[in-house]
Amino acid sequence: MNPELARFNMVEQQIRTWDVLDPQILDLLFAVKREEFVPPAYRSLAFADLEIPLDDSRNPGRKMWPPKLEARVVQELHLLPTDEVLEIGTGSGYLCALLARRVQFVISVEIDAGLAAAAAARLAAHGITNVQVETGDGARGWRAGQLFDAIVLTGSSPVQPDALIGQLKPGGRLFAVVGAEPAMHGRLVTRGESGQPHAKDLFETVLAPLDNAVQPERFVF
């Protein structure tokens, strides 16, 4: 496999066709080598339009996002160099690496200790120093009282994650896949200056749930 040709084809055939047209985001996909964050057994699939299993996970359902989803989310967050970002679910560390190249600092929280250690090692090996990978459960918030410019959930949530929205600064943005199969939506929530959240559904997709995601209230008779 010629990785640079495969990367070019990925960008032209998958990324651009999913409305990712920001030249800075496209350049980022060439700069951060996706194949180096893919488990070795699946490296030949690094540029394919599919989810890739994460060998380091205790949970066989944990997978890397498809490339087009990674790129689209980074674009939709409209990140600034001064932003501080919270990522819930580090996974392979690749999305974290993309975020880190766009912002001042990233805190990435991973419930699976094996994944956290492997991702931290990959990030360090690539000289990405503005990331702190922490092991824990961030589904209901992280570092209570700390506010972030952007938050990303890498697993789906049956309901909108209000506790995490509450950790956005005014003008902050949160991306989450909200809902249950078969009706899930990639949602961008922006916190207004008054604190009121404004949600916009961007696209339909299906994503495995975040560990310990907030569940909808159920009536008890």
For residues 79 and 100, the answer to whether their CB atoms sit within 8 Å is no
Q: Residue 183: inside a domain, yes or no? A: yes
Q: Residue 221: inside a domain, yes or no? A: no
Question: Structurally, how many domains does the chain consist of?
Answer: 1
Q: Residue 209: inside a domain, yes or no? A: no
From CA 48, how far away is CA 59, in angstroms rounded? 22
Q: Residue 219: inside a domain, yes or no? A: no
Q: Going residue by residue through the chain, which has 221 residues, state the pLDDT in tens, using 9 for 90 and above.
A: 799 999 999 999 999 999 999 999 999 999 999 999 999 999 999 999 999 999 766 777 789 999 999 999 999 999 999 999 999 999 999 999 999 999 999 999 999 999 999 999 999 999 999 999 999 999 999 998 999 999 999 999 999 999 999 999 999 999 999 999 888 999 999 999 888 999 999 999 999 999 888 888 765 55
Domain boundaries, position 166: 3-204
Question: Which CATH number belongs to the domain containing residue 133 in this structure?
Answer: 3.40.50.150
Q: Residue 166: inside a domain, yes or no? A: yes
Please name every residue paired with 174 in a beta bridge, in sequence order, or none if there are none.
151, 189
Q: Residue 48: inside a domain, yes or no? A: yes
In this structure, the strands spanning 183-191 and 197-204 are antiparallel
| Nearest alpha carbon to residue 52 among 32, 60, 13 | 60
Q: Residue 217: inside a domain, yes or no? A: no
